[in-house]
């Protein structure tokens, strides 16, 4: 039986604006589930609530109401954090460390042995094409190089579930293709992948299923194969635009 490993029920998050102490509903009653080994893409315009969702799944934010379960535990549970990998939207690093030192440090945080850290760091640096920059201080890395290092760091513990927030942002066309290839490889390994993106061609290539988030609400969800294979929509973009415009009409 296929079991969901990520579940949200009526998940709602209000942010409090510092200005005038007004409440703003960033996420409104999100109910979704992601099966083991599924690649799920949460797509939406800027400000739709994608990052807020991811932070709630990871326990970095507390829900205003509703619930989150990842691998059967509430978001942010210690035993779950060991089994997940996270790439934040704009990763920041200690600029004086080299890429290799940073990955070594990340491996130690997860309790890897010295030898494991070294081997895993070398493999991951190769995977993200940073071997030549392994001994360069991160402060000298370009934006794309930092994004690649963030991707490597998110995989240091060989996670069961991968949460990536805009993994292809800031990358050149070759970098974007490389990341799509890495995602396809992780899929082959049976990883569960939760992706936030608004780069629809990337999502189309790697995801099994998408959810369309608009103004904090899930306004559409379907398998990519049903969207683009059934003939109802020309492509994912047409489906995305239709979900958004029909939700605007309903309001
Ligand atoms: N800490 C916060 N305090 C107040 N408002 C916030 C906070 N974080 C996010 N918001 C607001 O919540 C809404 C959703 O933001 P979120 O970052 O989740 O969107 P997003 O879909 O990830 O957008 P993007 O594609 O630009 O990354 C936005 O209107 C944003 O301004
Ligand atoms: Mg975001």
**3-state secondary structure (DSSP) of residue 250:** helix
Pair 95, 191 in one domain: no
Q: By alpha-carbon position, which residue is closest to atom 18 of ligand 1?
A: 49
**Residues ≥6 apart with Cβ < 8 Å to 95:** 137, 138, 139
Pair 154, 171 in one domain: no
> Distance between CA atoms of 119 and 240, rounded to whole angstroms?
42
Residue 29: predicted pLDDT: 97
With CA atoms as reference, report the closest residue to 71 among 62, 63, 80.
80
For ligand 1, pick from 8, 47, 198 the residue to mutate: most ligand atoms within 8 Å of CB: 47
Residue 16: predicted pLDDT: 83
CA 46 to centroid of ligand 2, rounded, Å: 7
Q: At what angle do helices 143-154 and 114-127 cross, to 10 degrees?
A: 130
Q: Which of 158, 180, 206 is the last residue of a domain?
A: 158
Give the chain's domain count: 2
Pair 181, 65 in one domain: yes
Pair 181, 234 in one domain: yes
CB 28 within 8 A of CB 217: yes
Pair 217, 151 in one domain: no
CB of 50 within 6 A of ligand 1: the answer is yes
Residues 100-147 have pLDDT tens digits of 999 999 999 999 999 999 999 999 999 999 999 999 999 999 888 999
Pair 74, 52 in one domain: yes
CA 86 to centroid of ligand 2, rounded, Å: 14
Pair 27, 78 in one domain: yes
Pair 135, 32 in one domain: no
Pair 32, 150 in one domain: no
Pair 152, 175 in one domain: no
> Distance between CA atoms of 135 and 217, rounded to whole angstroms?
44
> Distance between CA atoms of 39 and 34, rounded to whole angstroms?
8
Q: Which of 115, 139, 158 is the last residue of a domain?
A: 158
Residues 39-83 have pLDDT tens digits of 999 999 999 999 999 999 999 999 999 999 999 999 889 889 999
> What CATH number does residue 192 fall under?
3.40.50.300
Q: Which of 142, 158, 174 is the last residue of a domain?
A: 158
pTM over 0.75: yes
Mean per-residue pLDDT for 148-167? 95
For ligand 1, pick from 49, 88, 166 the residue to mutate: most ligand atoms within 8 Å of CB: 49
Q: Report the chain's mean pLDDT, rounded to a whole number.
A: 92
Pair 91, 104 in one domain: yes
Pair 232, 210 in one domain: yes
CA 37 to centroid of ligand 2, rounded, Å: 23
Domain range for 174 is 1-83+164-251
């Amino acid at each position: 039986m296929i079991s969901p490993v990520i579940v949200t029920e009526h998940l709602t998050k209000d942010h409090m604006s510092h200005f005038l102490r007004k409440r703003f509903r960033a996420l409104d009653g999100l109910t979704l589930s992601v099966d083991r080994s599924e690649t799920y893409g949460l797509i939406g315009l800027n400000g739709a609530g994608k990052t807020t969702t991811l932070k709630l799944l990871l326990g970095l934010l507390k829900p205003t109401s509703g619930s989150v379960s990842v691998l059967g535990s509430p978001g942010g549970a210690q035993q779950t954090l060991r089994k997940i990998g996270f790439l934040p939207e704009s990763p920041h690093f200690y600029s004086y460390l080299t890429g290799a030192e940073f990955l070594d440090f990340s491996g130690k945080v997860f309790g890897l042995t010295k030898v494991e850290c070294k081997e895993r760091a070398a493999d991951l640096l190769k995977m993200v094409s940073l071997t030549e920059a392994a001994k360069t201080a991160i402060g000298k890395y370009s934006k794309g190089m930092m994004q690649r290092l963030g991707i490597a760091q998110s995989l240091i513990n060989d996670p069961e579930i991968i949460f990536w927030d805009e993994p292809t942002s800031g990358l050149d066309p070759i970098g974007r293709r490389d990341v799509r290839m890495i995602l396809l490889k992780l899929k082959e390994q049976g990883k569960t992948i939760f992706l936030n993106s608004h780069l629809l061609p990337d999502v189309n290539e790697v995801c099994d299923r998408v959810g369309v988030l608009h103004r904090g609400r899930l306004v559409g969800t379907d398998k990519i194969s049903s969207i683009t294979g059934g003939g109802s929509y020309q492509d994912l973009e047409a489906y995305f635009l239709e979900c958004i415009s029909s939700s605007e009409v309903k309001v």
